[in-house]
Each structure stands twice: as structure tokens, then as C-alpha cells.
Amino acid sequence: MALVFQLNQGEDFYVDHEQVIVQAIISPREFILHRVRDGKNLTFREGRVVEMFDNVHVSVGARGQSDSARIVIEAPRSISLLRGENYRANPPSRSANG
């Protein structure tokens, strides 16, 4: 099952302990996400799925608004997906590997 975040430019989310920031919103069907760990910007367009991290796939959600990004994330249940404010309020514990 997928999780959908609707975020504005500058807002962030976390995949486990990896921060991702909405860098730019080009249109309701295209946005750029900034992966903090390696400084890479990734462009997302409707109809395209990108593997952002191992086993974590991201795409553009339908019915987006011009001033926000509708981000669809598919990942195993073992991977924590949190909006930035929720992560900062109560970060998940780190595993022995992470």
C-alpha cells in the first residue's frame, strides 16, 4: 500500500532517518525532491516511478495542487515514513544497522 504526502516547497519528510526536502514545485504534475544524504536533486513527473532509496519508490500523485507536491511513496512496512514535523517531534529509534 502507498502513503501519500501533500507538501509545500521547503517542507520535508523522512524515509527511516533519511531526510528528503521538496526543493521545487514546477506544476501539479512535476516537482523536484532533494535527497539530503548525497545532495542529489531528483525530478518527478506524472507517470514515472523512481526508486529513491532501496525498496522505496516515489511517484507523483493525482489531483495535485499548483502550490503543493502530492508525493506517493511505496515502501515495505518495515520502513518508517514520516512528515518532517512528526519525525522531529518523535524520531523512530535507530536499528543496529542504522
pLDDT in tens, 70-87: 999 999 999 999 999 999
The pTM for the full model equals 0.89
88: cell is: 522531529
Domain boundaries, the chain: 2-89
pLDDT confidence band for 62 (50 / 70 / 90): confident
Distance separating alpha carbons of residues 57 and 26, to the nearest angstrom: 20
Best CA proximity match to 49, nearest among 77, 74, 79: 74
What is the distance in angstroms between the CA of the first residue and the CA of the last residue of the chain? 24
pLDDT above 60 (res 58): yes
Q: Write the DSSP symbol of residue 76.
A: -
**What pLDDT digit, counting tens, does each position of 28-52 carry?**
899 999 999 999 999 999 999 999 9
Q: List the one residue out of 61, 57, 55, 28 whose CA is nearest residue 42.
A: 57
Give the 3-state secondary structure of residue 44. strand
pLDDT for res 64 = 61
